[in-house]
Amino acid sequence: MNQIKTGECIRQMRTARGLTQKQLAERIHVSDKAVSKWECGCGCPDVSLLPALAEVLETDIHALLSGEIRQNESEKGNMKKLKFYVCKSCGNILTATSEAAVTCCGSRLAAMTPRKAESDEMLTIEDIGGEWYVSSDHPMTKEHYISFAAYMTDSSVMLFKQYPEWDFHFTMPMYRMGRLVWYCTRCGFLYQDIRQR
């Protein structure tokens, strides 16, 4: 932990939330002199204070430890750039429209990068009278299954949760074009583009 960077980070986040040093100190049960000392780079908060400090400053512990506040660039609302995170421990599915520090079950998660599905991996898409019917004969056992699929256009996302030992299929509205992504517990994160003929 760099005392100067962490102190500056605490000062920036405190002032952005309209808190005085005294108000911050009261919320985490320390003296305002301790907060002043941190912000001047003359010391760091005790590790035991970091969870409470992160909660009051509406950040995460990693940001406090690194002393870096990164501003995300706007993705201009393009939902096709949505980032997906999957927790290997509990199966939780999280998304973000730009880079994010995401943790679940005590582990930091990395954004998944989809790879283009090979022809034998692609999902089957049928027009059933104004809707797409999406299916696959992919294994759906407890150890090897597709956890979720999502369909993304420039302005919207639809997420379809799947479960082991169920057949993989769902219906969705028909869009002119978009990207279908899915996550398999063994094969990883895949995609295929859909264009209405």
Task: Give the CATH number, domain containing residue 118.
Answer: 2.60.40.730
Q: Domain span at residue 41?
A: 3-66
42 domain residue, yes or no:
yes
Kindly state whether residues 123 and 191 are assigned to the same domain. yes
Q: What is the pLDDT at residue 189?
A: 97
Mutual angle of helices 32-39 and 21-28, in 10-degree steps:
110
* Residues of the chain with confidence (pLDDT) below 50: 72-77
Number of domains in the chain: 2
Give the pLDDT score at 2: 84
Q: Can you give the pLDDT at residue 78?
A: 60
Q: What is the pLDDT of residue 168?
A: 96
